[in-house]
Every structure is written in C-alpha cells, then in structure tokens.
C-alpha cells in the first residue's frame, strides 16, 4: 500500500515547508535573552500611547457620587417612546419585565420574602448604577448606541414607573442627578471586615474545625432541595 503524501499548505512544497516549520519551532522555544528585555523606562517597543480620544471612549464609568456623568438631560415623557422602541420587548411596556427578562420596576416590600423582586426601585442603592449599566450595555445586542440625552430620558421613565418621581415632565440631567435618592440606599452598608482571618485572630483552622456539620438552611427559593426529607432517593441525591 502506497504511503499518502504529507499535507502541506497550498503553494508550499514539502521540502521547503519542513525546514521552515522547524525554524519557527526553534524560535518559539528559544528563551528571550537580554536583547529582548525591556529597557528601564522605555518598555518593550510595542504599540503606542493611547490618544486622548481613545481614552475618552473607554472612560465611561459613572460613580455613585455622579463623577463620570456626561452632560445631557431627558424627561420621562421623552423616555417613554424610547423605552417602547428599545427596551419594552424584554422589560415590558411598564418596566414590569416579560417572561424571564428582568423587571425594572416594582418589587417594593418583597426583599425579605421567599421570592424577592430586585428592581431599581426596590433594591438598587444608587441611581448611578442605572446610568452606567444602561449606557454601557444596553440595549441588548446594540450596546453603547444610546446618546446621553436618551439615557437620561430612559432613567427618568424608569423612575416614573417606580413611583420615585410623579411628573412625566421631570427632566433628569447631570446637574440634578444626585438629588434623586433610591429607596433602598440606606440598607447598603460598608462591610469593613477583612477578607480572611488575620494572624492576630489566632491561627486559622484548616481541618476538623467543627465536631459536627449541620445543614442550617434549605434552598427552597432555588427549588434545589427536595421537599420530602423521608424520601431515600432524595437524600441520596443530596449526598
């Protein structure tokens, strides 16, 4: 039986391809010597400094104190047709959410229930998160296509749907943005605990830390805990 010829890129003969491949393989395996090291203060000579325009295009985050907000304004009345055109197919005409898509309004009083509804009006602490996320990632599939005035108008409409403002003529802008406080802001507190135990607290336990481990909570809301604890198959599934 004849041996099948080796497969090489079209237009490259096997005789030339093999030495070239071995040369590239050798270069890839060669450690970088002093000649390739970066000179102090000069870098590696790759790329170029970003221009001011490029930096501005990436620098779009908005912070809780309002830093980063662009100039602009929009009313809830102006935001309603924008929301209907660009947002309602997922979030509903009144920001109530459709199917499995996120609700943006409602949910007040549900956070301590078995089925909390976390919306801008019931859960979020700062309005800046709404601007940052909508401008950065929405609408789905066409992110960063909204102009600042449109984002302000959309947020004003969402505030209206949450009952945080009562007048659809209210104009939200970079100048009055921080005057709008969300209802759940005071329920967010700074967690100043260290991420891990420190040596001043004693040597951290690494094994056999408790004589007995017990289940203290069931994930009923997630529907992952079988309701019948007497069912042997259910218990084996948990184990």
What digits encode the pLDDT tens for the residues 148-181? 999 999 999 999 999 999 999 999 999 999 999 9
More confident residue, 29 or 74: 74
**Spatial CA neighbour of 182 closest among 133, 134, 232, 129:** 129
Is residue 148 within 8 Å of 124, Cβ to Cβ?
A: no
Predicted confidence band at 105 (pLDDT cuts at 50, 70, 90)? very high
pLDDT at residue 9 greater than cutoff 50: no
Predicted confidence band at 42 (pLDDT cuts at 50, 70, 90)? confident
Q: How far is CA 186 from CA 2, 190, 222, in A?
A: 80, 11, 27
- What is the structure's pLDDT at 159? 98
Question: Scanning the structure block, which residue is given the tokens 């459709």?
Answer: 98
Distance CA 16, CA 80 (A): 66
**Spatial CA neighbour of 158 closest among 76, 90, 86, 77:** 76
More confident residue, 46 or 201: 46
- What is the structure's pLDDT at 104? 98
Instruction: Tell me the per-residue pLDDT of 180-237, one tens digit each, with 9 for 90 and over.
Output: 999 999 999 988 877 766 666 677 777 888 888 888 777 665 555 555 555 444 444 4
Q: How far, rounded to the nearest angstrom, does the alpha carbon of residue 40 sit from its chain's CA centroid?
A: 37
- What is the structure's pLDDT at 226? 56
- What is the structure's pLDDT at 215? 80
- What is the structure's pLDDT at 239? 46
Architecture of domain 66-184: Orthogonal Bundle (1.10)
Question: Scanning the structure block, which residue is given the tokens 């309002």?
Answer: 66
């Amino acid at each position: 039986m004849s041996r099948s010829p080796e497969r090489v890129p079209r237009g490259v003969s096997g005789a030339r391809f093999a030495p070239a491949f071995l040369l590239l393989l050798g270069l890839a395996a060669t450690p970088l010597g002093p000649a390739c090291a970066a000179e102090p203060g000069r870098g590696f000579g790759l790329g170029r400094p970003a221009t001011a325009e490029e930096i501005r295009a990436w620098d779009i985050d908005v912070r809780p104190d309002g830093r980063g907000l662009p100039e602009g304004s929009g009313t809830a009345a102006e935001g309603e047709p924008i929301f209907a055109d660009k947002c309602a197919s997922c979030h509903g005409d009144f920001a109530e959410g459709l199917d499995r898509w996120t609700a943006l309004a409602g949910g007040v009083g549900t956070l301590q229930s078995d089925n909390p509804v976390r919306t801008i009006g019931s859960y979020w602490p700062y309005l800046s998160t709404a601007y940052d996320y909508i401008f950065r990632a929405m609408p789905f599939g066409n992110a960063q296509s909204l102009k600042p005035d449109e984002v302000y108008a959309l947020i004003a409409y969402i505030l209206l749907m949450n009952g945080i403002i009562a007048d659809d003529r209210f104009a939200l802008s970079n100048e009055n943005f921080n005057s709008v406080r969300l209802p759940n802001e005071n329920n967010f507190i700074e967690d100043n605990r260290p991420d891990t135990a420190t040596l001043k607290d004693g040597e951290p336990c690494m094994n056999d830390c408790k004589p007995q481990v017990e289940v203290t909570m069931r994930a009923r809301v997630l529907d992952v805990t079988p309701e019948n604890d007497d069912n042997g198959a259910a218990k084996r599934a948990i184990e």
